[in-house]
């Protein structure tokens, strides 16, 4: 049985590696998802059949409870996938933290036969700290993304905030070191409970000052934390599978976080402590330009006369669930000989790849999706840039205005197109809290309204033969 467990661990690890590899290409992404599911199933079953575990019948109840919770959570709209992902990280972190607490108290009570070496004790402390801060941090991130009323969407900052946050973490780490050096001390149990409490508090404090614009990066960082907690748990439980799976999860989350930070031209410390998304007062410089509004009929005529159109999707498209209407507009334009491409910004939406997933759901050809660096050189030759609910990722202020929180962030050069049609629900700023200079540009025309409704009207114009 032990040999079966070892071979199953090797198989599951191989499947996890292939899952990550296949996810690199849209053509093999489905294979990657299947490989990940099969690998996790093999890992769970291989663990479950071990002689020291199979006799605990209550595990069946726990698995059943997992299905009861997991199945409804899988049936969420694509717009809710970011917060759904954050919840997954929360559950993973909670599991790691609870396992670490259980291992420590079993060892203290003498019920565990595991030798609690200084290395294993250190791993136990790291598991509890990372697990519990991931739990509360991910819950806060999910709440911000879901726009829960009692969780502030904008960053909450106060004087000395970073000192308080780092102080809480250092106290938790200090207590962990003390327990590692004196695990048998009478106060060790109370210290371990304090470590868990401080980790829970730190998770909340870590996310409170971070605005919604940074949520894609925060989610990937929390993914890395969850993976690292799994690695620590693997060392504690002497599970090679947990170590390798956690390392894959942690490293992939870290790499993704680095990519996301580069896409915003920012560092980890700036994301975690910079309070990006804090509302900024609008700077008044010279004459203030007015927003120019266009009718749906006029916009449809402009689109039909264009030779090439670049559509720039953003969170507004996701909220309106307008991706299928985007596909209808894409079909209507391409049938008239218009070349249509989609400009994808790395941090558009609320999670990495958010726009890609939404457009794939609407069966937009993946060849039509173009990354920011590739589309920007084409923008000056573009007849129309159609902006669908994107805001900060097309704001020209990022190029030169050092007083804005998005300064230095690479953007899609929508303003360089010959004509810009911007679909927006209101005149409110994006998550960065600053006005978008694109909307008052000489070549920009606004289409106010819900993205799905506006696109429906545009498609209707093409279908009714009302364009001449």
Contact between 186 and 179 under an 8 Å Cβ cutoff? The reply is: no
**In which element (H, E) is residue 320 found?**
helix 315-320
Using DSSP, state whether 447 is helix, strand or coil. Answer: strand
Residue 324 has pLDDT above 60, yes or no: yes
Position 5 scores a pLDDT of 75
User: What is the tens place of the pLDDT at every residue in 83-120?
Assistant: 888 898 999 999 999 999 998 988 888 776 677 788 98
- Residues contacting residue 357 through CB under 8 Å, at least 6 positions apart: 78, 81
The DSSP 8-state label assigned to residue 291 in this structure reads P
Q: Which phi-psi region, left, alpha or beta, contains residue 147 (left: φ > 0; alpha: ψ -120 to 50)?
A: left
User: What is the tens place of the pLDDT at every residue in 12-69?
Assistant: 999 999 998 898 877 788 899 999 999 999 988 888 777 766 556 677 788 888 889 8
Position 54 scores a pLDDT of 58
Q: CA end-to-end span of the chain, whole Å? A: 75
Residue 454 has pLDDT above 90, yes or no: yes
pLDDT band at 281 (very low <50, low <70, confident <90, very high): very low
Global pTM value: 0.78
| Average pLDDT, integer, range 238-250 | 88
Is residue 96 classed exposed, middle or buried when 0-12, 13-18 and 19+ CB atoms within 10 A define those classes?
A: buried
Position 468 scores a pLDDT of 45
User: What is the tens place of the pLDDT at every residue in 159-170?
Assistant: 888 899 999 999
| Average pLDDT, integer, range 359-365 | 89
Domain ranges in the chain are 1-68, 102-278, 296-463
pLDDT band at 179 (very low <50, low <70, confident <90, very high): very high
| Average pLDDT, integer, range 294-322 | 91
Bridge partners, 385 (sequence order): 310, 420
Position 220 scores a pLDDT of 84
| Average pLDDT, integer, range 215-238 | 87
Position 284 scores a pLDDT of 41
Residue 457 has pLDDT above 90, yes or no: yes
Task: Give the count of beta carbons closer than 10 Å to the beta carbon of residue 175.
Answer: 21
pLDDT band at 285 (very low <50, low <70, confident <90, very high): very low
pLDDT band at 273 (very low <50, low <70, confident <90, very high): low
Q: How high does pLDDT run on average in the chain?
A: 85
User: What is the tens place of the pLDDT at every residue in 64-89?
Assistant: 888 898 888 888 877 777 888 889 89
Signed CA dihedral, 452, 458, 461, 462: sign only: negative
Position 321 scores a pLDDT of 87
pLDDT cut 90: percent of the chain above it: 43
Lowest mean pLDDT among 58-67, 200-209, 223-232: 58-67
Residue 465 has pLDDT above 70, yes or no: no
Residue 210 has pLDDT above 90, yes or no: no
pLDDT band at 275 (very low <50, low <70, confident <90, very high): low
User: What is the tens place of the pLDDT at every residue in 369-414?
Assistant: 999 999 999 999 999 999 998 888 899 988 888 777 778 888 999 9
SS (H, E, C) 417-440: CCEEEEEECCCCCCCCCCCCHHHH
Catalytic residues: 392
Position 138 scores a pLDDT of 93
pLDDT band at 288 (very low <50, low <70, confident <90, very high): low
Lowest mean pLDDT among 134-148, 168-182, 399-413: 399-413
Q: Which residue has the higher pLDDT, 315 or 179?
A: 179
SS (H, E, C) 158-178: CCCHHHHHHHHHHHHHHHHHH
CATH topology of domain 296-463: Rossmann fold (3.40.50)
pLDDT band at 279 (very low <50, low <70, confident <90, very high): very low
Q: Which residue has the higher pLDDT, 45 or 130?
A: 130
**Tokens (6 digits) for 85:** 């992902």
Closest CA to 172 of 208, 217, 206: 206
Residue 349 has pLDDT above 80, yes or no: no
Position 58 scores a pLDDT of 76
Q: Which residue has the higher pLDDT, 353 or 430?
A: 353
């Amino acid at each position: 049985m032990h040999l079966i467990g070892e071979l199953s661990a090797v198989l599951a690890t191989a499947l996890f590696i292939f899952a990550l590899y296949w996810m690199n290409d849209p053509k093999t992404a489905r294979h990657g998802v299947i490989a990940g599911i099969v690998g996790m199933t093999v890992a769970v079953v291989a663990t479950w059949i071990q002689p020291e575990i199979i006799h605990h019948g209550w595990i069946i109840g726990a698995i059943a409870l997992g299905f009861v919770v997991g199945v409804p959570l899988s049936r969420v709209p694509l717009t809710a996938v970011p917060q759904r992902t954050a919840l997954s990280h929360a559950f993973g972190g909670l599991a790691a933290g609870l396992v670490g607490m259980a291992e420590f108290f079993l060892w203290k009570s003498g019920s565990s036969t595991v030798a609690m070496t200084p290395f294993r004790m250190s791993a136990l402390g790291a598991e509890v700290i990372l697990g519990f801060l991931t739990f509360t941090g991910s819950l806060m991130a999910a709440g911000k993304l879901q726009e829960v009323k009692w969780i502030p969407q904008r960053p909450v900052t106060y004087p000395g905030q970073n000192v308080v946050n780092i102080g809480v973490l250092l106290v938790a780490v200090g207590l962990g070191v003390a327990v590692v050096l004196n695990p048998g001390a009478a106060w060790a149990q109370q210290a371990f409970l304090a470590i868990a409490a401080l980790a829970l508090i730190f998770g909340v404090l870590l996310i409170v000052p971070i605005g919604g614009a940074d949520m894609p990066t925060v989610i990937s960082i929390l993914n890395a934390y969850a993976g690292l907690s799994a690695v620590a748990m693997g060392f504690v439980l002497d599970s090679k599978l947990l170590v390798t799976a956690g390392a894959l999860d942690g490293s992939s989350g870290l790499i993704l976080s680095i990519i996301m930070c580069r896409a915003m031209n920012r560092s980890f410390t700036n994301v975690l402590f910079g309070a990006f998304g804090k509302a900024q007062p609008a700077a008044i410089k010279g004459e203030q330009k007015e927003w120019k509004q266009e009718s749906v009929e006029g916009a449809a005529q402009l689109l039909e006369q264009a030779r090439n159109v670049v559509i720039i999707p953003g969170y507004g498209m996701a909220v309106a669930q307008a991706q299928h209407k985007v596909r209808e507009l894409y079909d209507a334009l391409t049938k008239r000989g218009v070349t249509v491409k989609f400009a994808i910004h790395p941090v558009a939406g609320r999670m990495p790849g958010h726009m890609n997933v939404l457009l794939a759901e609407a069966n937009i050809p993946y060849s039509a999706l173009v990354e920011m660096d590739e589309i920007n050189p084409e923008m000056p030759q573009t007849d129309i840039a159609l902006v669908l609910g994107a805001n900060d990722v097309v704001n020209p202020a990022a190029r030169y205005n050092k007083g804005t929180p998005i300064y230095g962030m690479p953007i899609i050069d929508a303003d360089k197109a010959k004509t810009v049609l911007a679909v927006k629900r209101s005149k409110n700023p994006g998550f960065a809290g600053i006005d978008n200079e694109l909307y008052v540009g000489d070549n920009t025309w606004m289409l106010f309204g819900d993205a799905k409704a506006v696109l429906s009207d545009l498609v209707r114009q093409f279908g009714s033969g009302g364009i001449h």
